[in-house]
Chains A and B, each alone.
Chain A
Amino acid sequence: MINVKKPSYAGPLAEAQVDLFTPVAARIRSIRPLTQLEKVFTLELPVGVTLGHRPGQFVEVSVLGVGEAPISISSSPSRSNGSFELCVRKVGDVTSALHKLQPGSIIGVRGPYGRGFPFEKFRGKDLLFAPGGLGLAPLRSLINQVLDERAQFGRVIILYGARNPGELLFKEELEAWSRRPDVELLLTVDRGDESWTGNVGVITTLFRHVSVYPRNTVAITCGPPVMYRFVLMELFGKGISEGNIYLSLERRMKCGIGKCGHCQINNVYACQSGPVFTYAEIKGLEEAL
Chain B
Amino acid sequence: MSLTILPKSDLGDFVSQLMASYRVAGPVHKDGGAAFEVIASPEDLYLDYATTILPPKKFFLPTREVLFNFKTNGDLQVQHPEPDPPTIVMGVHTCDVHAIQLLDHVFAAGKPDAHYLQRRAQTLIISIECLKPCDEHAFCKSMGTMTADEGFDLHMIDLGNAYAIETGSEAGEKLLKLSPASAATNADIERLNQVMSEKWPRFPYRLDFDVSDLPSLLNVSMKSPLWEELGKRCLACAACTNVCPTCFCFDVKDEVSLDLSTGSRVRSWDSCQLDEFATVAGGHNFRKSRALRQRHRFMRKGKYILEAHNYLGCVGCGRCARACLVDITPVNVFNELYRQRQAGG
Binding site for B on A (CB under 8 A): 2-3, 18-23, 25, 62, 64-69, 89, 91-95, 105-108, 224-225, 250-252, 254-255, 257-262, 264-267, 272, 286-287
Q: Are B299 and A21 in contact (CB under 8 A)?
A: no
Q: Are B249 and A3 in contact (CB under 8 A)?
A: no
Q: Mark B252-288, 1 if CB is under 8 A from A, else 0.
A: 1110100010010101001010000111111010110
Please tell me which one of the listed residues B68, B250, B265 contacts residue A261 in the complex, with CB atoms under 8 A apart: B250
Give the chain A neighbours of B326 by CB distance below 8 A.
none
Give the chain B neighbours of A258 by CB distance below 8 A.
109-111
Q: Mark B300-328, 1 if CB is under 8 A from A, else 0.
A: 00011001100000000000000000000
Q: A21-B267, A262-B249, A267-B307 are in contact. Are A257 and B111 (CB under 8 A)?
A: yes
Q: A251-B286, A259-B107 are in contact. Are A19 and B115 (CB under 8 A)?
A: yes
Closest B residue to A269 using CB positions: B308
Please tell me which one of the listed residues A21, A265, A286 contacts residue B252 in the complex, with CB atoms under 8 A apart: A21
> How many chain B residues touch the partner (CB < 8 A)?
51
Chain B proximity of A96: nearest CB distance (Å): 9
Give the chain A neighbours of B277 by CB distance below 8 A.
252, 261-262
Binding site for A on B (CB under 8 A): 67-68, 70-72, 74-78, 80, 106-107, 109-115, 222, 248-254, 256, 260, 263, 265, 267, 270, 272, 277-282, 284, 286-287, 292, 296, 299, 303-304, 307-308
Chain B proximity of A47: nearest CB distance (Å): 15
Chain B proximity of A16: nearest CB distance (Å): 13
Chain B proximity of A135: nearest CB distance (Å): 12
Give the chain A neighbours of B308 by CB distance below 8 A.
267
Would you list the 3 A-B pairs with minimal beta carbon distance, nearest first?
A: A92-B281, A261-B249, A267-B304
* Most A C-beta atoms less than 10 A away, residue of B106, B253, B260: B253
Give the chain B neighbours of A89 by CB distance below 8 A.
282
New contact pairs (16) apart from A65-B70, A260-B270, CB-CB < 8 Å: A22-B68, A64-B74, A64-B265, A67-B253, A91-B281, A250-B284, A252-B286, A254-B250, A257-B113, A258-B109, A258-B111, A259-B107, A259-B248, A261-B270, A261-B272, A267-B304
Q: Are A64 and B72 in contact (CB under 8 A)?
A: yes
**Whole-angstrom CA separation of A266 from B299 in the bound complex:** 8
Q: A64-B263, A252-B279 are in contact. Are A272 and B110 (CB under 8 A)?
A: yes
